[in-house]
Structure 1
Amino acid sequence: MISETGHSKRPLRSSRNRPTPRRRNCSWLWPPSAPPPRHDPLDFTGRIPILACHLDDLKENGPHAAIWWRFGSQQWQTLTDALAHAEHTARVQARLDAEHQAERETRHQRLEATRCPGCNRRCDEIDTGRPSDGTSLCGDCQTKAWKAERERKQQAVRDAHAARWPCLA
């Protein structure tokens, strides 16, 4: 129904009755910059060690004997060994060494992939100019190639002039 002024007499709908637009999860558009860290179930770094012993052994042998059992360990240990958790430290160090070695190999492979096809230098061996990406020439080789091409063209022009006007040569 429209009034004389041309406006509808219907009451305006409230915006709160309208459904809110659903937000889309677009996280797949932006890949994470680094993979999430792997969780090692045997990594006790920053954890409080849980130690146990029999009270009879404690009375009989004293606190410095191999009467302590560290949860997650395989044998009875002295108190200092149980607190130090040497096998865990060695295992974590071995894992860190392996990860460091893998990173060095990856970095080396990336550097090897950037060898210039002209001079066979890697990008870290080039002091001046633009380094190569492995598919194109580095700045130094490109300059040499441009100069050689320009010299070849100039020589071709000189040869053409000498063939056309032999007396000028």
Structure 2
Amino acid sequence: MVALALFQRATGRELWHLALPGQACDKATRDALLDLEDAGKARPDGWARGRKLWCLTRAGHKEAAGFLPPGTKLSTVREGESAGYDEHALDVVTTAGHLTRAGHGSPLTLTTEVRHPVPGRPARYADLVLRDPGASVPVLLVEVDRDNETVGQLVEKLASYTAWCELIAKGADKTRAKAARHDGAAVHDHRHWRTVYPPTGHEGYPPVALVLTPGRKRTRPGTKPLTPEQQAAKAERDHRRLLRRLDEVEDGSAAYWSPRPYPYAGVTAGNYHQALPVVATTLQLLDAHGADAPVWRRFGRTGWHTLTAALDNPDGDRLLAVEQKVAAAARRAREQAEREASRPACTGCEAKLTDAEWNRARWGERLCTACQQEESDRKRAERAAAEAEAAAAEAARAKNAGSWWRRSGRRP
């Protein structure tokens, strides 16, 4: 019931993924819808893709609102039967169901048609917004395209999101905000988007997810239906075409998702703090594998990744810290090598002086400790020998003097 209050209309399949993602099939969801119909809180509202569409009655809408936090954006109550349905809206519900089933958000964390106004531009309405603070994916702005927009229009959407993310917060110091543009994550302290969405957990602006799906063309009356083989071949051609469109959108929007290079020599890490993370997939891949599988492409990278891996920036701040650590170690090694190359040698044995010996050498002592001790011992031995020789000479003089007095018969 809560899911229907948020998304207005859906089939039991989409509600199954949103409300009961752990169930093996949508039977429990369909049974619950029948119970709500008996209680006068839900009713059928046409058919879509071979399944019954459901919406809430006014009574059901009122009851569902009581389960939601105040201020939650609710869908409008549908009055009377509708002859048709919005394929795009159903694809948005399908995408929301895949995200929920993969553990990314719940009906209470998802909102549709969220407005992002930008001065001088048409306001950008996100088809779906996931806002789940503290989760592995705290925020995700989702754009679902049914092959009815040009590559240029999709690129313009990314340009609008970038412009919105760059808006200065109300009351922020514009001088400080301008100065912070060159200070990594500090730039976001002055931006408006931080007052709207929780921290992303990564460098950069709130991530945008593009989900592409081929539009369903009406078949002319009397047209022979395609065989299963022809349907499979057509689906494969459509999917390849969507992937080519993703390549074109990626090439055309590089100015918005590309990280800036750091102005340091030898640094290959990218500065993502002012980049718009863009991930992309197709609804066919989500239907076949689920949103928790490696079905997401990150613009600027090769291969397919899980959603959390695609939103990560392993070549951002973490790589910068590693490269700076390596550069600092290399600088210290280079400085040490230069110091060792200029280290003086002992003038006695020619061995390199230690740091303490080098400090003494600055005062004229160019001998190592061993040679200095040897020199000290030599000088001490020379002094001892000289003193012994002087004593012996003195004794000899005294003896000679005594002998002279005896020979002369004199007394001293």
Query: Which TM-score band (shorter chain)?
Result: 0.3 to 0.5
Name the TM-score, length of structure 2 as normaliser: 0.23
More relative contact order in 1 or in 2 (CA 8 Å, sep 6+)? 2
Q: Which has the larger Rg?
A: 2
